[in-house]
């Protein structure tokens, strides 16, 4: 069933129940359904429909949600991107977008709309973390997108009487999934559109459930309010964080997955990650760090891959297994899965994955940069921060490097620490030796100079 159909059904059963609370106010399910239906008629008039791709980039989270659900009701594939992108950036990121929504959609009155979904529908598309330098839009079939909803509801105990705080941008698959699941369930979604900052206390005064990334969990604990459950995804959760949540009376459901793979494993009780319902897991030998293997998953929740056959970390085999290169300790069925990060040097920062090559591609173009290596530096809350090491005896000013990062990279990709060295260590084939650079950074090598 299209997610929009769930909203229409809730509008009939509980028309006055609040569906969303956003920056501009509340919408009941009846009001949201009317907005979606009217916007879907407008999209149909623009040529949207089955087999088409509707790009949506809007600053207001409720307007963005309405556009996405309108595309869903029209039978099109919604693709969520950054509201700051211009049309050229959209074309470079996703290829042929049939309809681009960069302003709130008008509504068109008319007869009720009904779309009969097909098994081969592509029902959702979004960008994987760190997608700007080398764009990768992940596309999902309808079943892989929505059929896992009941499992999450059961694992986290989320029902129609809950109020769910979603304190992040819907361009993130983590927060987008949370919003769609909330509406399919018939609960109320609190949508500030970004981390709420000074308004967090007021939102937590209403929320019974929150979706967030690990480093934000301490921020929601110990505050007055009805918060019962935190659903935490995007990176490993330290046992101390779960213990702090227990002391605050908050249950934690943490999960491991990827935009390309969706849910892979879940931990509901602190005893470790176990396969999410319907998922098979293998840890296979690979050329990564000694003692670790590569995580492969097979499940109904896997994506269809990248739009336009873009290159990326996703690989699949002939038996239907997929991997994005994450590595883990050896694993056997019945054991806890111990994920140790992304292979190939990818950086896990604050729940997002940044591909170093994407950042390097943008910064290598800055005048005065001979070459550049991007690695992750340890950080007590974020796990790691993006760190750039420029090869140059006379490096360009940090202000110039940061200006290039702002114009060509998304926020999560931009380096927070900058260094320069006269000559990068290289492999036998002449490529920068990323692991050696990271080791020299950790050791405080004398030829490294901090750019301030």
| pLDDT for res 130 | 40
Q: Is this structure's pTM higher than 0.95?
A: no
Per the structure block, which two tokens stand in for 413? 């990709």
> Which helix (DSSP H) or strand (DSSP E) does residue 247 occupy?
helix 239-247
In 220-279, at which residue ranges do the beta strands (DSSP E only) sit?
229-233, 251-258, 262-267, 274-275
Annotated domain spans of the chain? 3-328, 355-450
Q: What is residue 412's predicted lDDT score, i.e. its pLDDT? A: 87
CATH topology of domain 355-450: GMP Synthetase; Chain A, domain 3 (3.30.300)
Residue 429 confidence (pLDDT):
47
Q: What is the pLDDT of residues 397-445, one digit of tens each?
A: 999 999 999 988 888 899 999 999 998 887 554 567 777 888 888 888 8
- Looking at the DSSP bridge assignments, the partners of residue 341 are 327
pLDDT of residue 430: 57
Number of residues assigned to the chain: 452
Phi/psi of residue 240, each to 5°?
A: -65, -35
Show the tokens assigned to 230.
Answer: 């935190």
Q: What is the DSSP string of 407-432?
A: HHS-GGGS-SEEEEESS--B-TTS-B
- The structure tokens listed for 214 are 């690990």
Residue 246, pLDDT score:
96
Collect all residues with Cβ–Cβ distance below 8 Å to 191 and sequence separation of at least 6.
20, 21, 22, 23, 61, 62, 65, 166, 170, 179
Give the Å distances, CA to CA, from 24 to 21, 42, 63, 103, 377: 8, 22, 10, 15, 39
Gyration radius from the chain CA atoms: 22
Question: HSE-up of 52 (CA within 13 Å, CB side)?
Answer: 21
- In whole angstroms, what is the distance from residue 365 CA to residue 295 CA? 34
Distance of alpha carbon 167 from alpha carbon 184, whole angstroms? 18
Torsion from C-alpha of 199, 202, 205, 207, nearest 10 degrees: -50
pLDDT, tens digit, 9 for 90 and up, residues 146-175: 999 999 999 999 999 999 999 999 998 899
Homologous superfamily (CATH) of 3-328 is: ANL, N-terminal domain (3.40.50.12780)
Q: Which residues of the chain have pLDDT under 70?
A: 1, 92-95, 129-135, 234-236, 287-290, 341-345, 427-431
Separation between Cα atoms, residue 178 and residue 181, nearest integer Å: 5
What is the Cα–Cα distance from 383 to 216, expressed in whole angstroms? 12
Residue 65 to residue 71: CA distance in whole angstroms: 10
């Amino acid at each position: 069933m299209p997610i929009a159909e769930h909203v229409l059904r809730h509008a009939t059963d509980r028309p006055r129940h609040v569906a969303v609370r956003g920056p501009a106010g509340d919408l009941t399910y009846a009001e949201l359904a009317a907005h979606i239906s009217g916007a879907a008629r407008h999209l149909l008039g623009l040529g949207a429909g089955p087999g088409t791709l509707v790009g949506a980039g809007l600053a207001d989270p409720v307007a963005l949600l309405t556009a996405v659900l309108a595309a869903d009701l029209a039978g099109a594939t919604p693709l969520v991107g950054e509201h700051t992108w211009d049309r050229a950036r959209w074309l470079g990121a996703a290829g042929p977008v049939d309809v681009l929504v960069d302003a709130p959609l008008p509504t068109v009155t008319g007869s009720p709309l009904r779309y009969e979904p097909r098994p081969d529908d592509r029902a959702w598309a979004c960008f994987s973390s760190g997608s700007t330098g080398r764009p990768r839009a992940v596309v999902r079939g309808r079943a892989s997108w929505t059929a896992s909803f009941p499992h999450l509801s059961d694992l986290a105990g989320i029902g129609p009487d809950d109020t769910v705080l979603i304190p992040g941008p819907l361009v993130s698959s983590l927060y987008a999934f949370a919003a769609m699941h909330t509406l399919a369930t018939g609960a109320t979604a609190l949508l500030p559109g970004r981390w709420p900052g000074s308004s967090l206390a007021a939102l937590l005064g209403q929320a019974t459930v929150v979706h967030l990334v690990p480093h934000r969990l301490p921020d929601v604990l110990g505050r007055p309010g009805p918060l019962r459950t935190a659903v935490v995804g995007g990176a490993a959760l330290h046992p101390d964080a779960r213990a702090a949540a227990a002391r605050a009376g908050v249950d934690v459901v943490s999960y491991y997955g990827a935009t390309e793979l969706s849910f892979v494993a879940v931990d509901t009780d602190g005893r470790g990650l176990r396969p999410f319902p319907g998922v098979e897991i293998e840890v296979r030998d690979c050329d990564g760090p000694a003692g670790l293997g590569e995580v492969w998953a097979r499940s109904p929740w896997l994506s269809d891959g990248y739009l336009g056959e873009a290159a990326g970390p996703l690989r699949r085999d002939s038996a239907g297994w997929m991997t994005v290169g994450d590595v883990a300790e050896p694993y056997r069925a019945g054991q806890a899965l111990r994920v140790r990060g992304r292979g190939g040097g990818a950086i896990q920062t604050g729940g997002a994955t940044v591909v170093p090559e994407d950042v390097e591609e943008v910064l290598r173009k800055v005048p005065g940069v001979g070459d550049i290596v991007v690695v992750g530096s340890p950080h007590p809350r974020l796990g790691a921060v993006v760190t750039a090491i420029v090869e140059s005896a006379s490096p360009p000013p940090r202000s110039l490097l940061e200006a290039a990062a702002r114009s060509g990279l998304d926020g999560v990709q931009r380096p927070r620490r900058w260094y320069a060295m006269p000559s990068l260590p290289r492999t036998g084939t002449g490529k920068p030796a990323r692991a050696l650079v990271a080791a020299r950074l950790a050791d405080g090598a004398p030829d490294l100079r901090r750019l301030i």
